[in-house]
Structure 1
């Protein structure tokens, strides 16, 4: 602050405040992630929108702008895109509705059993976890052979026990889902089981001891202690399992190749077919955006509902 004296009066002027220095260090730490996020997320999304709004032809010098034509095809009855996209989306939703409860329940049940001090529990934990290290192609080939219409192990065991003829599992609508669902549960149950085992190890044993002194049965202890304490991990397992199930691709491709009559074809498998078999890149890009938006809305709704239930249990 400076003071200026003039004849007959004194004026005071405020000195300008020093400008704050910008600390660039946090932004330098964020820069690598920002570059990767732009290169692998922002740019592909923007380029995908460009392809979906143009009639994309790899051999053409210019790509004609068509606006929302390919998006409208997905919502216009009578177009092949409308018929096959929504049919395969229903197939994927059916697979998700069936597998998510099975995976959550089976992984939780195995974790509760193998959390107890039983003989050989380390061996059984490894047995249930080991299928998860297989690639989807190996898993698919294994379960395709297991349910083969003629030489499959399931048909051979059935014929040995009952004397009945083979069942055409892979070529019958409805039955073709069985090897896909069973194989997926066998393949992925070990990972969720491990998550539940880690969560169970964090539950204080004093809670069970106090419940036992009060006369609570094992079922009551599970209902009022184990299940509420596993609420956050159950939310995580359910959301991640649903996301993985909606991305069904390899199992149906290897085991049934989407058949019979596209009854087991997933939406991602159809999008891939539309792009790389039919060379309809713009149509496939539009399908990808619609499917991605559907998954985003579904996941947000699922997370909101289950998070509210977890908070209600914790408040109790």
Structure 2
């Protein structure tokens, strides 16, 4: 009878515990502090203000719950009347300006991608307005569309003896200097993005399509547009968000007039807070508008990302 000996059990000596490396967190600490102080804390405190009747001169701040949010859906309140009106104004500006900005930027990029004389100069000319502040841009276009002495009316009168058009004091027409000025001001950034994307499209694709008999229009439709789809997604989303943040252009050019026809929703929120001193109401309006923008951006990104994926 053979007896098998069990293998000797070896006890593993526990090694030194791995110490947590805190060095990366110290590098992140300054940004985290700034993010908390200037983003997280204002959001939390703003939500607190929107749920209370807040007055900086009164220590008593009674809790009112969703009262200021309900005002947005109560037809008899000024918040209902002006918030939805200015939201439509902002939406109208976005619907008009975004397609023009995207199409004009793509068209200019296609023109300036070609080896033409002075290409670098023209690229700089179209990009330079973007370095101006919104106040400078607004004053410039307000002067150009002035009702009496504006450059546009002066040129029209010199060419066709037309009477001065009251651009800034006529509902509907007041949007023209805002939209045109915004396109002139922000066109260069989108154009630069498209130029960078066009330089990454392989020339071999166009050569192969040309050998197969594809026209320039077919090459643009089946090669250029699909290859630019990710950049177009980025341009459309960022341009739409920037357009919904309309404030400085309408503030400087038309001051929201005439009859609030060009007043943006951010202008109204600012007026509610600093002119009407309704800080809690303005905070509620701001949170409601921010939530709308989050939902809209998520929907827009989801739809366009699906299209980009299908094209890819």
Q: How does the TM-score come out when normalised to structure 2? A: 0.93
Aligned-pair CA distance for 1:120: 1.2
- For structure 1, which segment, 21-30 or 235-244, has the greater mean C-alpha deviation from structure 2 after superposition? 21-30
In structure 2, the residue matched to 1:149 is 147
Distance 1:37 1:135 in 2: 25
Matched residues in 1 for 2:262 and 2:62: separation?
A: 35
List alignment gaps of at least 5 residues for structure 1.
1-10
Mapped pair 1:62 → 2:60: yes
Deviation at 1:306, TM superposition (A): 0.5
Q: Distance in 2 between matches of 1:135 and 1:27?
A: 37
1:52 equivalent in structure 2: 50
State how many pairs are aligned: 305
Q: What's the counterpart of residue 118 of structure 2?
A: 120
Give CA deviations for 1:175-210 in whole Å, capped at 9, x if unaligned: 100000000001000110001001111111111111
Q: Would you say 1:36 and 2:28 are equivalent positions?
A: no
Deviations 1:143-180 (A, max 9, x none): 11111111111111111122121111111100100000
Tell me, what secondary structure is at the counterpart of 2:32? helix
Secondary structure at the aligned position of 1:113 is classed as helix
State how far apart, in whole Å, the 1-side matches of 2:51 and 2:137 are: 38
Query: In 2, distance between residues paired with 1:18 and 1:154?
Result: 79
| CA distance in 1: counterparts of 2:130 and 2:24, whole angstroms | 39
Moved more, 12-21 or 259-268: 12-21
Which of 129, 150, 163 is equivalent to 1:131?
129
Q: Which aligned pairs between 1:288-299 and structure 2 lie closer than 5 A?
A: 288-299=286-297
Unmatched segments (≥5 aa) in structure 2: 1-8
Q: Distance in 2 between matches of 1:247 and 1:83?
A: 20
RMSD over aligned Cα atoms = 1.8
Matching residue of 2:85: 87
Deviation, 1:219, is 0.9
SS at match of 2:260: coil
- Deviating above 2 A after TM superposition, structure 1's stretches of 4 or more consecutive aligned residues are 11-34
Aligned to 1:106: 104
